[in-house]
A and B are shown apart, each in its own frame.
Chain A
Amino acid sequence: MLDSFDSLMGGFSAALTPGNLLFAAIGVLLGTAIGVLPGIGPAMAVALLLPVTYAFDPTGAFILFAGIYFGAMFGGSTTSILLNTPGESASVIAAIEGNPMARQGRGAQALAAAAIGHFIGGIVGAIGIVLLAPLVASVAVDIGAPDYFAIMVLAFVAVTAVLGTSRVRGFAALAIGLTIGLVGLDPISGQPRLTFGVPQLADGIDVIIVAVGLFAVGEALWVAAHLRRKKDEVIPVGRPWLSREDLRHTWKPWLRGPFIGFTFGSIPAGGAEMSTFMSYVTERKLSRRPELFGKGAIEGVAGPEAAASASSAGTLSTMLTLGLPTTAIAAVMLAAFQQFGIQPGPLLFVNEPDLVWTLIASLFIGLVLLLVLNLPLAPVWAKLLQIPRPYLYAGILFFACVGAYAVSGQPVDLIVLLVIGGIGFLMRRYGLPVLPAIIGVILGPDAELQLRRALQIADGDWSTLVSTPLSIIVYAVIAALLLLPAIRRVLASRRTPPAVQEAEQEKEPTDH
């Protein structure tokens, strides 16, 4: 514990250099702008920025990314409150309560509740990383290839089976990602796989091109096909502030939200979506005026927004300690680590202590900057919503091409980018989730490596895969996740007579 504190202080002295402060400031400003802008999510933003960071040192790059992450979470809620069209599933809740508030002329209060919620959530989440991450890392240092393989399979199954509405579509997306990850020379034997004799494919398809293609080009093409021609009505807003009465309703949700958020953010298949939803349900249950919910209850903005930022911290914590991405942005950040030749995981705290602790310290600095900059800047951010859409999406495509080209300086990469963008388009059209695909691309090759390494060590004895307690537990969790719907169905049909069950099913939609 004391060690962590010392390391954190060391991190602060490194993070407070002018260069790193500048990265943190640029990160939160860019992140907020990106979060506010429709059509660009944090994962796409980090993917688009990957090539830029070639020029930076890894520490600066990750400070920038962390700032973007937190900034984008905050910016997303601004859009939802002022525009009522949440771009990401994580900001749906902000739209449910925040937009009615804005319509009643309380947009400033909604923005303030969200901004302070994000600050508190982020700070509690960052403290959570400081306290828990070294602990998890020290336990995880001893885990071997079979455990890693099991945890990666858990990541695949969790993001695929729990999120989304259709399992077969989730697994189809995962399989597409795994297939893209296979292309190239096999790292162990040097055998070509799925290269079809094309020399450019021997190195595999660069993760940056896949990420930019799926997120940026796929999204731009999809929006272009269905571009809303009618202009949205943006509710004008002044400087955010809160009255004493508002504070009385918000301080408890602000403090409860982060704990829900950090927990759900750090587990696979949790993420901001689940966190905000769980926090919202909790606040509605605990509220003394539940009748206000759905009509602009400030508690319903404060709690979930605090949970959203804390979930980002939880996601970062899992990514740093286990090398396991639980959300799309963590997956892209993992790819960034790999570009720098750094492997996140338990050894990261041993091998790169300076980088980790500077990054963690910069989270605190970024959050303070976020609060200081964003409360007064809210009216400016609202103006960003007026940007003409042709420029916005042309810009996304432009920077996607710059990024793809910068990878290796070959024009043919733009064609690969377009093909992957086409896959991204079809996935959006037919309801295949993008997250399992990107996790498949990034974790797939690692998982195969761990599997083969485990079998190498055990001389081909398959029972090695279930030779440790951790791997057995993880496989049990995977089995439970896969069987969950079936179990639920059996339990429901046994416990309740059919008539009650039907009534319950009818009631369900109002709960969501």
Chain B
Amino acid sequence: MTVLTKDWLRERSELGVSVLLGLVGLVVVVDSVLGSEASTSSDPLGPHAVPLLVGALLVVLAVLLARDVLSGGHGEAEGGEDVDLTVPADKRTVLLLAGVLVATAALIPLLGWPLAGTGLFWGATYALGSRSVPRDPLIAAGVSLVTWIVFDALLGVDLPGGPLMGVFG
């Protein structure tokens, strides 16, 4: 691939959104076409008519979006108080945060909320660039423990305490 086409594609990475929309649209269309049980007299429209329409809409929008991007249009990235759009996207931080979330999902059944939550908070602050020890882990443990007590004991929302809580009884 030449440098020119690479740059051309990078400028138009939004075409990826268009491809995604189109693919999702096709999946929705296929799913509703393959679905059994068509309309009945008591339900003239049946369960698959609306999905078919939504799927078709997605495909049409994918084409329209691609046309818009190719003719020079582009979506405006969202600003915000803490958002600096002049710097390129920091992929490492985002991937680290995603990793922390996946790890938390895996750790909750093993360690329970207080410990997994501590890991989640500390991991997230680390990914976001804070390196203060022992302040970061202490805050993480505090937030996690207080949240667990408030939700589990006061609000009655069931969060697993994990093996550690056997110690506290």
Q: Give the total number of A-B pairs whose CB atoms are below 8 A apart.
A: 238
Complex partner residue of B81 from A39, A186, A431, CB under 8 angstroms: A39
Q: CA–CA, A229 to B64, complex, Å?
A: 37
B164: interface (CB < 8 Å) = no
B72 close to chain A: CB less than 8 A: no
Cβ contact within 8 Å between A54 and B125: no
Which of A38, A227, A422 is the one whose CB lies under 8 Å from B128? A227
Asked if B17 contacts A426 (CB within 8 A), the reply is yes
Q: Are A452 and B124 in contact (CB under 8 A)?
A: no
Q: Which residues of B contact A9 (CB under 8 A)?
A: none
Tell whether, in the assembled complex, residue A389 and residue B128 are in contact, meaning their CB atoms are under 8 Å apart.
Answer: yes
> In the complex, which of the residues A39, A168, A412 contacts B68, with contact meaning CB atoms closer than 8 Å?
A168
Is A182's CB under 8 angstroms from B84's CB?
no
**Which chain A residues numbered 423 to 461 have a C-beta less than 8 Å away from chain B?**
425-426, 428-432, 448, 451-452, 455-456, 459-460
Is there a chain A Cβ closer than 8 Å to B149's Cβ?
no
Residues of B within 8 A of A430 (CB): 14, 17, 75, 77
- Chain B residue total in the interface (Cβ 8 A): 86
Bound together, the chains give a CA A38 to CA B64 distance in angstroms of 35
- Chain B residues 44 to 98 lying within 8 A of chain A, measured CB to CB, are 44-48, 50-51, 54-55, 57-58, 61-62, 64-65, 68, 73-78, 80-85, 87, 89-91, 93-94, 97-98
- Given the known A-B contacts A191-B35, A227-B93, are A414 and B75 also in contact in the complex, defined by CB atoms under 8 Å? no
Do B121 and A412 have beta carbons less than 8 Å apart?
no
Which segment of A300-308, A357-365, A401-409, A479-487 sits at the interface?
A401-409
A221 CB-CB contact with B under 8 Å: yes
Decide: A390 and B101 in contact? CB cutoff 8 A. no
Whether B21 sits at the interface, judged by CB under 8 Å, is yes
- Asked if B9 is at the interface of the complex by the 8 Å CB criterion, the answer is no
- Measured between alpha carbons, how far is A414 from B108 in the docked complex, in Å? 10
Q: How many Å from the CB of A110 to the closest CB on chain B?
A: 18
Q: Taking the complex as formed, is B36 at the interface, i.e. its CB lies under 8 A from any CB of chain A?
A: yes
> Nearest Cβ distance between residue B157 and chain A, in whole angstroms?
5
- Please give the distance in Å from A167's CB to the nearest CB on chain B: 9
Q: Is the CB of B117 within 8 A of A226?
A: no
A398 near B124: Cβ-Cβ < 8 Å = yes
Does A194 sit at the interface, judged by CB under 8 A? yes
Docked complex: B18-60 residues within 8 A CB-CB of A: 20-21, 24-25, 27-28, 31-32, 35-37, 39, 41-48, 50-51, 54-55, 57-58
Asked if A226 and B84 make an inter-chain contact with CB atoms under 8 angstroms apart, the answer reads yes
- Interface size of A by CB at 8 A reads 81
Decide: B84 and A228 in contact? CB cutoff 8 A: yes
Contact present for B84 and A38 (CB under 8 Å): no
Question: Given A168-B65, A398-B121, are A227 and B105 also a contact pair (CB < 8 Å)?
Answer: no
Contact digits for A360-404, partner B, Cβ 8 Å, 1 yes 0 no:
000000000000000000000000000011110111011101100
A430 nearest in chain B by CB position:
B75
Contact of B80 among A221, A223, A425 (CB under 8 A): A223
By DSSP majority rule, is chain A's interface helix, strand, loop, or mixed?
helix
Assess A406 versus B37: contact at CB under 8 Å? Given A222-B78, A391-B125.
no
* Partner pick for B75 among A166, A227, A393, A455, CB 8 A cutoff: A166
Q: Does B165 contact A (CB under 8 A)?
A: no
**Bound CA span A230–B86, Å:** 12
For A393, the chain B residues whose CB sits under 8 A away are 124, 128
List the A residue with the shortest CB-CB distance to B57: A175
A→B interface (CB under 8 Å): 38-39, 51-52, 54-55, 79, 83, 85-87, 165-166, 168-169, 171-172, 175-176, 178-179, 182, 186, 188-189, 191-194, 196, 217, 219-230, 232, 388-391, 393-395, 397-399, 401-402, 405-406, 409, 411-412, 414-415, 417-418, 421-422, 425-426, 428-432, 448, 451-452, 455-456, 459-460
Using a CB–CB cutoff of 8 Å, the interface residues on chain B facing chain A are 14, 17, 20-21, 24-25, 27-28, 31-32, 35-37, 39, 41-48, 50-51, 54-55, 57-58, 61-62, 64-65, 68, 73-78, 80-85, 87, 89-91, 93-94, 97-98, 100-102, 104-106, 108-109, 113, 117, 120-122, 124-125, 127-130, 136, 139-140, 143-144, 147, 151, 154-160
Chosen A-B contacts, 24 in total, with CB atoms closer than 8 Å, are: A38-B81, A166-B73, A168-B64, A171-B57, A172-B17, A175-B57, A189-B43, A223-B80, A224-B94, A391-B130, A391-B139, A397-B97, A399-B147, A405-B113, A405-B159, A409-B160, A411-B105, A411-B109, A418-B102, A422-B98, A429-B75, A431-B75, A455-B44, A456-B42
